[in-house]
Structure 1
Amino acid sequence: MTLTADLFWSFRSPYSYLATRRYRALTEEHDLMVNLRPVYPLAIREPAFFERNHPNWLRYTFTDMFRVAQFHGIPFGPPKPDPIVQNVITREIADEQPYIFRLTRLGQAAARRGQSLPFCDEVSRLIWGGAENWHEGDHLAGAATRAGLELAELDAEAVEDAEALDAEIASNQAALEAAGHWGVPTLVFDGEPFFGQDRIEMAVWRMQQKGLAPR
């Protein structure tokens, strides 16, 4: 029996990146379908989030995400550029955001095709894996191809159907909160949320209780 789960995920979240390839490998090795449902990051949903956090929050997060990557042997480099335009010193979120809306709509367009997990995995490997100017040249087109998709088709849909895609993305966020959490990455299996890249093993343990089996 194929088990299913929803993975709520953001292109700006380093921890989403650090979790994605492991969830993707899980689906390739087991009778499991993971529906990746992209959401807009906190920087878009709650711009004041960064300003009201403790000053040590950002420093610790940077330390920890590099440490997690090293622990798991996952390539990791600061995104060039960051999917969110933000002043690192003041934490202020810029009004103009040239990347995140396109990316998230592309992710949702891929979700319509049942390919959001491989697509978002491939794109996040560019953004967080150290690719210089991931938004230029053939980087994104190559990522789409590796996921079995055509970037031109996704981009056209992201422009022509932006309003409907944004409604679907908002629905993803509502579903995440209804499941009992608000952050990413959160895997929801059988109504139970597992927040963070450090809960993958526990999620697998729960799935095994419900019959998760190797392919």
Structure 2
Amino acid sequence: MAPRIDYYFTPMSPWTFLGSERFHRMAAKAGAEIRYLPVDYGRIFPASGGLPVRKRAPQRQAYRLMELKRWAEHTGIPLIVEPVNFPQPDELAALTLIAADEAGADMPGLCTALGHALWVEDRVIDDPATLRGLLARHGASPDLIDRARSDEIMARRDAYNEEALAVGVFGAPTYVLDGELFWGQDRLDFLERRLGAG
């Protein structure tokens, strides 16, 4: 049986973006199934002791920027470490990903493209025009945005939030394999070893 990775993330996270291509390559190589679970960290953080970036202590904010620069250099990704359009709402982007997954869209491509739009191009990823363009570019119907706004898709995201809290998710991205949590793109080495040992 193919391994299954539960992938809890937000498309707004730079760490999600920095790990996206490598994570998807790794999962494909291992023949792993990915459950895409874009959750609301506005709900996760208060329940797990976390704080939004702007509410963190100055030294934590400064170190975060240093780490983003390091990881951008390490991965060769031309990341804008302080984009004008961060932070921003991500609800419509997350709901669109849920609708796209339901429709069998190119999820690795879409997830990476959303991160690229924000962290390389400094665009608003919750903007319907941005989302329609990304959907079309990855062979998905722009009409999925209408589906994303449905009560059913919104209820599904609520269920994902509850599931994330139940399994102990507190940060993005979190990869869960056989009940074991791997938090952050800097834990992909450990996830890769775990996949290889499965």
Q: Is the structural similarity TM-score above 0.5?
A: yes
Relative to structure 1, is the Cα distance of residues 149 and 182 closer, same or farther in structure 2, using a 3 angstrom cutoff?
same
Equivalent residue for 2:77? 74
1:181-203 C-alpha deviation (Å, 9 max, x unpaired) = 22110000111110011111100
Between stretches 200-209 and 122-131, larger displacement belongs to 122-131
Q: Alignment partner of 2:164: what SS?
A: helix
The percent identity for this pair of structures is 23
Distance 1:137 1:100, change over 3 A: closer
Equivalent AA in structure 1 for residue 56 of structure 2: N
Go from structure 1 to structure 2 and tell me whether the alpha carbon gap of 1:134 and 1:169 turns closer, same or farther (over 3 Å shift).
Answer: closer
Q: 1:199 to 1:2 in 2, by over 3 A?
A: same
Give RMSD over aligned pairs: 2.7
| CA distance 1:178–1:114, shift in 2 (3 Å) | farther
Residue 94 of structure 1 corresponds to none
Do structure 1's residue 120 and structure 2's residue 123 form an aligned pair? no
Residue 134 of structure 2 is matched in structure 1 by: 143
Q: Which residue of 1 aligns with 2:42?
A: 42
Name the residue aligned to 2:56.
53
Q: Is the 8 A contact 1:69 1:75 kept in 2?
A: yes
Amino acid corresponding to residue 176 of structure 2 in structure 1 = V
Alignment correspondent of 1:3: 3
Q: Separation in 2 of the partners of 1:117 and 1:172?
A: 19
State the SS of the aligned residue for 1:155: helix
| Kept in 2: contact 1:123–1:143 (CA 8 A) | yes
Gaps of 5+ in 1: 85-98, 211-215
For 1:98-140, what per-residue CA distance to the aligned partner results, in whole angstroms no more than 9, with x for missing partners? Answer: x422112112212323444432222111111224566669643
Cα displacement string for residues 155-187 of structure 1 (whole angstroms, at most 9, x for unaligned residues): 11123x0x3322211221222222232211000
Q: Secondary structure at the match of 2:37?
A: strand
Q: Kindly report which structure 2 residues correspond to 1:199-214, keeping only aligned pairs within 5 A, or say none.
A: 199-210=187-198
Kept after mapping to 1: 8 A contact 2:45/2:170: no
1:64: Cα distance to partner? 0.9
Amino acid at match of 1:178: A
| Counterpart contact for 1:185–1:197, Cα < 8 Å | yes
Q: 1:54 to 1:45 in 2, by over 3 A?
A: closer
Q: 2:173 aligns with which of 185, 196, 201?
A: 185
Unaligned stretches of 5+ in structure 2? none
Structure 2 distance, partners of 1:138, 1:119, is: 15
1:166 alignment partner in structure 2: 154
The structure carrying a bigger helix percent of its residues is: 2
For the residues of structure 2 that align with 1:129 and 1:139, how far apart are their CA atoms? 14
